[in-house]
Amino acid sequence: MYNVSMRMVHIKEDAEDIVQDSFVEAFNNLDTYRYQSSFGSWLKRIVINRSINFLKKRKIAVIPFNNESFHLATDIPCKDEEITVEIEKVNKGIRLLPSGYQQILNLYLIEGYDHVEIGEILGISQSTSKSQYHRAKKKLIDIIKSL
């Protein structure tokens, strides 16, 4: 749970506080746990929500692109075997992304949420989640190439 929060807030002390508050919230609200998922999944969702709320309080928001239309270029080569990058470069690249892009990448790639769930968590549409994910991925590739 600490790693989940740390990937989102990037500050050790803040992540520790969020995890502690999440455990307290979970145990205070055990009566609302419905056994539809594992306790770990339920707790992880609390940690993610608290991390997002923490970032919102710091005025770091995800900007929705509801009325925009986006088209991905098909001429950009992106074969898995072409992108052989050290993990350190990827981590550094993610840290250089704007926080909204970091949130989307972490939730989608690392935490395994789909775009519908990400939309619910962040209060954005599914299409906004998808477009921000694609923009974040493209920007991350550009950053990694420049490192």
Give me the helix-helix angle, 2-9 and 39-57, nearest 10°: 20
DSSP 62: P
Instruction: Look up the domain containing 141 and give its range.
Output: 65-147
69 with 120, same domain: the answer is: yes
18 with 85, same domain: the answer is: no
**Residue 125 is part of a domain; what is its CATH number?**
1.10.10.10
Check residue 35 and give left, alpha or beta (phi > 0: left; psi -120 to 50: alpha). left
pLDDT of residue 91: 81
23 with 81, same domain: the answer is: no
pLDDT of residue 145: 86
47 with 70, same domain: the answer is: no
76 with 134, same domain: the answer is: yes
pTM attached to this predicted model: 0.58
100 with 41, same domain: the answer is: no
Q: Is pLDDT at 132 greater than 70 in this prediction? A: yes
For the chain, what is the domain count? 2
**Residue 19 is part of a domain; what is its CATH number?**
1.10.1740.10
Mean pLDDT (whole number) for 140-144: 89
Q: What is the mean pLDDT of the chain?
A: 82
pLDDT of residue 135: 93
Rounded CA separation 113/50 (Å): 16
Tokens 């692109």 label which residue?
65
Rounded CA separation 100/70 (Å): 17
14 with 85, same domain: the answer is: no
Q: Is pLDDT at 78 greater than 60 in this prediction? A: no
Confidence of residue 81 (pLDDT cuts 50, 70, 90): very low
